[in-house]
Amino acid sequence: MTAQMISAEFATCFDHQPDFVVRSPGRVNLIGDHTDYTGGWVLPIAIDRSVLVAARVVDPPYIDVHSAYLDQRIRILVDDVATLPDESWSQYIVGVVALLKECGIPLRGFELYLGGDLPPGAGLGSSASMEVGVAQALLKGVDKRLSPVALATLCRRAEQEYAKSPCGIMDQLSCTLARAEHALLIDCQSMSTEHIRLKLDGAALVVIDTGVRHSIARSEYPRRRRECAAALAAITDVYPSIASLRDIREDQIVSCAKHLDDTLRQRVTHVVTENARVLRAAEALRSSDLPTFGRLMNESHASLSDDFEVSCDELNDIVSIARSVDGVYGARMTGGGFGGCVIVLASSDSIPKLVKAVHESFDGRYASDATPFSVRAADAAGVLDDDRDV
Ligand code: GLA
């Protein structure tokens, strides 16, 4: 989708051309899931599928937002943010507006049109893309800036405090800090980051969307957070110097066995082994060791499925089908789980076989069919030049 296409949609909706368009990318996490909210490591890329925000500054002090995804429009009064009905999607935007005001940003009236080619609710970070895209548009309209970390932190607060979704920081940081052709290694405790060049000579990344959008994720996600907190509390009884799950060694889990029930032991085992895998995967990427990277992806999926229990039949089936194809290095679920997408690292010449195998062996067996598409590592969110393709 191009800036002109979204501008034309904006013009149909609001009877004017927009002043500018912001592109805000989705993300695929290559490895390191359910580690961000316990201060661990993650390794996402921003992808070449985005939420686009076309924006025009207006004089009256209200922000009209039209979502093309839902074909719905909301109005937020700049001076009275709290008056909006509690529609779930609008709370992400209300949160961004309220928190920008709290930072002392003098907001203007706006018309905003949200569209793009990032599928919503597919576990590709669409909420964070919407938050960051809207925040960047509102900031650009009043000629203000926030640092990428401050912007990501503000957007996470909007999601946690207004949309009541207790997410970590991965999606927002990926959206504000990613770089084309690089993966982003994030230390979610210090928020320090490293861009690692993706040298995938002869290989590519393919996302396979299961089409499953489980609402259970919303209740299971907070439960996993509580389980991680309970596991940490039990472990600090034995090792008082441990402040975070990232500081635990595998042998310490064994010596805490009496204090952890089976579920908590599984949860903490996933987090500890996943953190170690992210660091090994980053090393493999630095040296372009794709077989090792793929093996770590496979181990990560097993851990998310067996120990953290956030996978589902559809994700597990697609992972198995993908791994049965010659030339596939590795496959795993990506993001929060319970549906959403699988990410596959495969040699470029095996991709037609991969797509064929997925359609032949998966489609028709579940309520929705699979949608495979290739992704490239894209740049962080930003204002688009007039005629740049998205
Ligand atoms: C969701 C959250 C992220 C992260 C992932 C799991 O995408 O928004 O913060 O916790 O799940 O890795």
Q: What is the 3-state secondary structure (H, E, C) of the chain?
A: CEHHHHHHHHHHHHCCCCCEEEEEEEEEECCCCCCHHHCCEECEEEEEEEEEEEEEEECCCEEEEEECCCCEEEEEECCEHHHCCCCHHHHHHHHHHHHHHHCCCCCCEEEEEEEECCCCCCCCCHHHHHHHHHHHHHHHHCCCCCCHHHHHHHHHHHHHHHCCCCCCCHHHHHHHHCCCCEEEEEECCCCEEEEEECCCCCEEEEEEEEEEECCHHHHHHHHHHHHHHHHHHHHHHHCCCCCCHHHCCHHHHHHCHHHCCHHHHHHHHHHHHHHHHHHHHHHHHHCCCHHHHHHHHHHHHHHHHHHCCCCCHHHHHHHHHHHCCCCEEEEEEECCCCEEEEEEEEEHHHHHHHHHHHHHHHCCCCCCCCEEEEECECCCCEECCCCCEC
Q: Name the residue of 38, 127, 170 whose CB sits within 8 Å of the most ligand 1 atoms, as the mutation to test its pocket.
A: 170
**CA 319 – CA 334 distance, rounded (Å):** 11
Mean per-residue pLDDT of the chain: 95
pLDDT at 372: 98
pLDDT at 3: 87
In the reported structure, the alpha carbon of residue 339 is separated from the centroid of ligand 1 by a whole-number distance in angstroms of 13
The model's confidence at residue 84, banded by pLDDT at 50, 70 and 90, is low
**CA torsion, ordered 204, 209, 210, 212, to nearest 10 deg:** 150
Residue pLDDT, tens place only, 233-287? 999 999 999 999 999 999 999 999 899 999 999 999 999 999 999 999 999 999 9
What does the pLDDT average to over 299-309? 98
- List all residues whose CB is within 6 A of at least one atom of ligand 1: 29, 33-34, 36-37, 167-168, 170-171, 335-336
pLDDT at 249: 92
Residue 217 reports pLDDT greater than 90: no
The model's confidence at residue 88, banded by pLDDT at 50, 70 and 90, is confident
Q: From the candidates 19, 33, 64, 171, which is the catalytic residue?
A: 171
Q: In what order do the strands lie in the sheet with 182-187?
A: 41-42, 182-187, 192-197
What does the pLDDT average to over 58-65? 96
80 catalytic per annotation: no
Tell me the percentage of the chain whose pLDDT exceeds 90.
Answer: 91
Closest CA to 375 of 173, 130, 126, 124: 124
Residue pLDDT, tens place only, 132-150? 999 999 999 999 999 999 9
pLDDT at 385: 79
Residue pLDDT, tens place only, 22-53? 999 999 999 999 999 999 999 999 999 999 99
Relative to beta strand 72-77, strand 192-197 is unpaired
pLDDT at 14: 97
**CA 223 – CA 113 distance, rounded (Å):** 35
pLDDT at 78: 92
Q: Name the residue of 167, 175, 227 whose CB sits within 8 Å of the most ligand 1 atoms, as the mutation to test its pocket.
A: 167
The model's confidence at residue 390, banded by pLDDT at 50, 70 and 90, is low
Which numbered atom of ligand 1 lies nearest the CA of 127?
8
Tokens of 261: 């029930």
What does the pLDDT average to over 170-187? 98
In the reported structure, the alpha carbon of residue 244 is separated from the centroid of ligand 1 by a whole-number distance in angstroms of 18
**CA 187 – CA 189 distance, rounded (Å):** 6
pLDDT at 86: 64
What does the pLDDT average to over 182-189? 98
Residue pLDDT, tens place only, 324-359? 999 999 999 999 999 999 999 999 999 999 999 999
Using alpha carbons, list the distances in angstroms from residue 179 to 33, 73, 138, 184, 197: 20, 32, 22, 8, 9
The model's confidence at residue 1, banded by pLDDT at 50, 70 and 90, is confident
